[in-house]
Amino acid sequence: MTGRHSVPVLLGLSALAVALNALCGCAPSIDAYEAAGRPPSIDPAYTGAVIPANIAPLNFTVREPGSEYLVEVYGSSGDHIRIASSGPGIRIPISPWRELLEKSRGTEIHFDVYVRQGEGQWVRFDRITNTIAPDDVDGYLAYRLLKPLYNKYVNIGIYQRDLHSFEETAILENNRADRACLNCHTFPNNRPDPFLLHTRSRHGLTMLVARRDTVSTVATQTEFNSSPAAYSSWHPSERLVAFSVNKVSLFFHTVGETRDVFDAASDLALYLIDSNTLTTTAGISSPDRAEVWPTWSPDGHYLYFSSAPVLPIERFDEVRYSLMRIGYDVDSGEWGKLEMVLSAEDTGLSITQPRISPDGRFLLFCMADYGSFPVYLSSSDLYLMDLVSGEYRRLGINSEQADSWHSWSSNSRWIVFSSKRRNGLMARPYLSYVDVRGKVHKPLLLPQQDPAFYDSFIRTYNVPELIAGPVQIDSRALARAVVAPERPLTARLDPRVRVTAPSPK
Amino acid sequence: MSPVSTDIRRGRAPLFFILYYLYVWLHVRPDLVYHAQQPVFFEGKAFLVDFLARPGGLTEYVGAFLLQLHYYPWAGALFVTAGAWLVYRLTRALTGVGGWRSSPGWPFIPPVLLLVLHSRYSYALHLDLALLGALLGALAYMRVPLRRVAARWCAFLVLSVLLWYTVAATYLLFAVLCGIYEAANARRRLLGLSYLACVPLAVLAHGAALQIVQADAWLLQFPYYDLYQSSGPVLLVTGALLYIFYPLAVGGEAIRQRLPGLSLLRPVAPRRGSDAASAVWALGFALLAVVPAFLLFDSDARALLELDRGARHAAWERVVEKGADLREYDVLAVYNIQQALYHVGELPERMFAFPVIANAPVISPNTLEPGSLAALSHILYELGSVNQAEHMAHEALEILGDRPSLLQRLVLINILKGRAPAARVFLGRLEKSSLYDKWVEHYRRALDSGSPLSGNAELSRISSLMPRSDSPGYLPAEVLLRLLLVQNPKNRMAFEYLMAHYLLTGQPEKIAEGIGHLNDYPEHYEYPTIPTHYEEAILLHMAGLRSQGGEDPQLPLHGRKIRPESLQRFEDFRRILRAHRDDRDAARRELAQSHGDTYWFYFAFSDPPPVQASAGPPPPVNPQQ
């Protein structure tokens, strides 16, 4: 048993040697090789993708048998990175990688993979080419990590990853916060400050609003809504937050995807931060319809959301959400007209999780066979609507498994989404480049330092959100706000809101 | 000659620790400790980094690694004994510094206390390492050849930082020992007091480093407190005695000298005797020392662990055998026994001869009993309800951590669901735990072959039981079992569990209805007669009908008959019941002797009485994935 522990040490030393070799340009040169006549099998499949110039090295594993491996990475600038390895894991040194990407912005970079078969001949595989996008992706990705498929939560954390490197830090882990459930971290305009998240623990059901060094704790239940806030969206002015209140229940399948969610009733409301007031209107809180997944248009004039007629749970697979929007004037607080944007009757599918690009041009959303919770539905795919023409299309980046939980970068040129395409169970974050014409390019799995990271990582990436910089607030302040909040607020209900029907509970 | 070498020469210590080893190996059984804790240890930097990031993490990491040795009982016992021996050596050295050089029995006390701790099955091995670290640090400090106060302070500071990082709160023992040593033994009171003042500072610093924000979490820093929360007071009290022992040992002589009244307590030096006499002394002391370990030994925990280990390794006969001897039981034990009874073909015959959970569904998830979730996952898996087995395995995985047995279950489940890539991820996780290399290799090869079910009789059998059409909903036990049986009428386990459910929830009329199922698939239900508990339920149901209608009911037994001896036994039951019509307790006492293993007894006397189980509320919601 102990003998195996020398393996990681030896591998580490080998990697160090390889890195030094690569840095000083003294990796073994290959004078003779055979051409494989095909591209190599590598994992993750970083081939034919458009990648941001500010991404960490695309470390990968060569899925070809061999005793030695050599990879050359180069671009049109003439810079070369050579990585020699005795194993199939290829780790690209970060400094030359950054330099190469910066010089190759807007052009292609190539990977030449050589594999030595046994003690004999080297084989060269066909060149792999990726394109460096002219536009950067936001520098950080915030996400929640948790294990799939459970009700009892013990270890949940919200983390942020520096996309320029492999550094991951915890924004808040629930083992610091009395094992509270943490969910729905939400940022305005891709900025890390302010931000909000929701918590559920023995200390209560609350919304945390973190701004600079302070954290406000808000109990959002009122006479209108006995359920707390759930899925949220900041208004671009940062003066208010739209959120849903839901009555969700779990149920299980005996075949296929195990878990499913049914939303028996839901409404939308606004939380006005300065006045600590909750308000709503009949158009987004109809008792005979379930409204969910609010998102603001970048100009703040419209609230987009999903809406479906309320049906009993026995007809769960008939519930299909339409995409709607309602006007709102943030200065006067006046509501505008309720409009149908895309009807489920027309699509035959359920439309959820609308997200609008910051430039206001595109609307990205999920469509699945039924329901409001696409991450559990393998039929969930991403669709893009051109808000100028109103036309929409299914994206070519979809997979056979659930593709959902998407968000935009601040420059509208990148999207990130969670996909279960690798194994059908654990979602992984993918980045896709969206060019000015709205073409969405082949997605790129978030690179990790360990090329085989995803082969043994059993947590799922949930709600990936791109942010321009790191969340700075101390996780202790957030934890304290969960466990022992100072001066917690209780939202007041706008007196103009008439409560006429039982709210979701 | 040093006291240690004297002990060794005279055979005291070797004999003591040989007996110690045998006790741990054969009586405590480290493999049961391994099964109880199923330590999570993975190779690789990612796993290590988490430990290195917090004080005490290094000790926990090494402890988690060494706990793997318990997989092999002899190796685990060897490690525990070696640790105890090191503690003994360090204790001897420290008591020497404290002036109790002439007390040969005292250094054996900490190993005995450790034996009590190791006999409790939930004791965390890394606490041994932390104790060793603190003692070693204290001894190193006491022997450091520095005379100037500033230099000694520096030595203390360096050791403090080192120990605080490696052993976390156990560092406090080191600080206290150094403080007492300086103040009481070395006559440097101010220096000693300054060390003692470090104790509250260390507590604060440790709390800050852990980013503790809950007020009630401060206690969690202290060794044994979290174990106390989960395992009761024995561990806490024993641990406290262990930690109090050392300040007394180091400072005791100085206190005794300052308090003349205590001079009578001066220990008596043993007289020089023959080696044989020493050996006898050692044997006597060892036997005496083992008394508290025996008295505090958690034999009930061992019995339950043996049962669970047997069930997880499919040693069904042994589980039934052990189940008959249980003094205490829990939901997990009941699940294990019923699963074992099914496998040995006795679930419909002897279920009520064993503990049951009265008036409860035969399978019922409860996150407050995480161990039972793992067992439930196993049962559901065998029933063919693979999706529900997956759900339970994930619940257990979240609560209990990445236990290898759960990872194995999830590999199999994902293979059965045709989700090979997910199975590979769980294999990849399991692969980092080197004890399971062969298992991982076997299933990796099976997956590589593209048809992992072929050649695997167990997987093929489970696959044949799996539902083919979806039945969505929140499925209580009865609905789920009926569903499995409807989709696969030959699923004998589902049939017997459904019948067991009817029995447990007081629905004997449904047993009578189920008898027809036996005739429909005779090759899968080879009962020569109606199984005993089913006969008992039918007789009970007939008696109920008779009392309502007055006539002898005709039940469709599909050509089967109730055995005369069963009829006679039922008549006896009713006769005794009638004889004690006015004294229910007397009836219960007498019937417990003669009919305690029958369904009639369960039906009449279980508390609460059996009634049809409700569907129950849906589970809490966490739909954020």
So what's the pLDDT on residue B267?
A: 46
So what's the pLDDT on residue B99?
A: 62
Measure the CA angle with vertex B367, ends B361 and B369; round to 5°.
80
Q: Which residue of B has its CA nearest to A374?
A: B625
| Residue to substitute from A352, A405, A458, A459, interface B, most B β-carbons within 10 A | A458
So what's the pLDDT on residue B170?
A: 87
Select from A94, A99, A48 the least CA-distant residue to A78. A99
Note whether A261 contacts B422, CB cutoff 8 Å. no
Question: What SS3 class is residue B136?
Answer: helix
So what's the pLDDT on residue B218?
A: 54
Question: What SS3 class is residue A202?
Answer: coil
**For residue A198, how far is the Cα from the chain centroid?**
17
So what's the pLDDT on residue A374?
A: 96
Q: What is the mean pLDDT of residues A332-344?
A: 96
So what's the pLDDT on residue A75?
A: 93
Note whether B211 contacts A475, CB cutoff 8 Å. yes
So what's the pLDDT on residue B257?
A: 65
Share of chain A above pLDDT 70, in %: 93
Within 325-384 of B, beta carbons closer than 8 Å to A belong to 367
How far apart CA B467 and CA B175 sit, in angstroms, is 63
How far apart CA B120 and CA B118 sit, in angstroms, is 5
Select from A71, A95, A99 the least CA-distant residue to A83. A71
Share of chain A above pLDDT 90, in %: 75
Q: Which residue of A has its CA nearest to B402?
A: A458
Question: What SS3 class is residue A444?
Answer: strand
Q: Which residue of A has its CA nearest to B390?
A: A258
So what's the pLDDT on residue B615?
A: 39
Note whether B618 contacts A458, CB cutoff 8 Å. no
Question: What SS3 class is residue A337?
Answer: strand
Residues of chain B with pLDDT under 50: 1, 262-270, 613-625
**DSSP secondary structure of A49-101:** -EE-TTPPP--EEE-S--SEEEEEEEETT--EEEEEESSSEE---HHHHHHHH
Cα distances from A379 to residues A345, A392, A401, B93, in angstroms, run 17, 18, 7, 70
Non-local CB neighbours of A151 within 8 Å, separated by 6+ positions? A250, B367, B395, B619, B620, B621, B622
So what's the pLDDT on residue B26?
A: 94
Torsion of CA A471, A476, A478, A481, to 10 degrees: -160
- In contact, A310 and A321? CB cutoff 8 Å: no
So what's the pLDDT on residue A7?
A: 45
Question: What SS3 class is residue A219?
Answer: strand
Note whether B395 contacts A152, CB cutoff 8 Å. yes
Note whether A455 contacts B424, CB cutoff 8 Å. yes
- In contact, B308 and B35? CB cutoff 8 Å: yes
Q: What is the CA radius of gyration of chain A?
A: 24
Ranges A18-32, A78-92, B287-301: which has the least confidence:
A18-32
Sorting pLDDT into bands at 50, 70 and 90, what band is A125?
A: very high
Note whether A151 contacts B419, CB cutoff 8 Å. no
Note whether A251 contacts B621, CB cutoff 8 Å. no
So what's the pLDDT on residue A296?
A: 98
What rounded mean pLDDT belongs to chain A? 90
* Cross-chain CB nearest to B388 (options A181, A252, A422): A252
Partners of residue A152 in chain B, C-beta under 8 Å: 367, 395, 398-399, 620
So what's the pLDDT on residue B353?
A: 95
So what's the pLDDT on residue B341?
A: 97
The tokens of A188 are what?
């305005």
Select from A180, A192, A67, A158 the least CA-distant residue to A119. A67
Q: What is the mean pLDDT of residues A317-327?
A: 97
**Cis? peptide before A194, omega within 30° of 0:** yes
B142-153: pLDDT as tens digits: 988 888 889 999
- In contact, A124 and A35? CB cutoff 8 Å: yes
Predicted ipTM beyond 0.95: no
How far apart CA A318 and CA A324 sit, in angstroms, is 19
Question: What SS3 class is residue B214?
Answer: coil
Q: Is the dihedral of CA A375, A377, A378, A383 positive or negative?
A: negative
Partners of residue A4 in chain B, C-beta under 8 Å: 43, 434
Whether residue A190 has pLDDT greater than 90: yes
So what's the pLDDT on residue B280?
A: 65
Sorting pLDDT into bands at 50, 70 and 90, what band is A504?
A: low
> Rounded to a whole number, what is the distance in Å from the CA of A437 to chain B's nearest CA?
32
Note whether A8 contacts B385, CB cutoff 8 Å. no
Q: At which residue do the structure tokens 């008779």 appear?
A: B546
Amino acid letter at B232?
Answer: G
The tokens of B190 are what?
């101010």
Note whether B399 contacts A426, CB cutoff 8 Å. no
Whether residue A126 has pLDDT greater than 50: yes
Amino acid letter at A50?
Answer: V
Query: Who has greater pLDDT, B98 or A418?
Result: A418
Question: What SS3 class is residue B67?
Answer: helix
So what's the pLDDT on residue A27?
A: 53
Note whether B68 contacts A1, CB cutoff 8 Å. yes
Select from B185, B35, B203 the least CA-distant residue to B99. B185
Q: What is the pTM of this model?
A: 0.89
So what's the pLDDT on residue A502?
A: 52
> Rounded to a whole number, what is the distance in Å from the CA of B570 to chain A's nearest CA?
41
A230-245: pLDDT as tens digits: 899 999 999 999 999 9
Non-local CB neighbours of A304 within 8 Å, separated by 6+ positions? A294, A295, A296, A297, A323, A324, A325, A341, A354, A356, A363
- In contact, B140 and B156? CB cutoff 8 Å: no
> Rounded to a whole number, what is the distance in Å from the CA of A221 to chain B's nearest CA?
18
Q: Is the dihedral of CA A243, A244, A245, A250 positive or negative?
A: negative
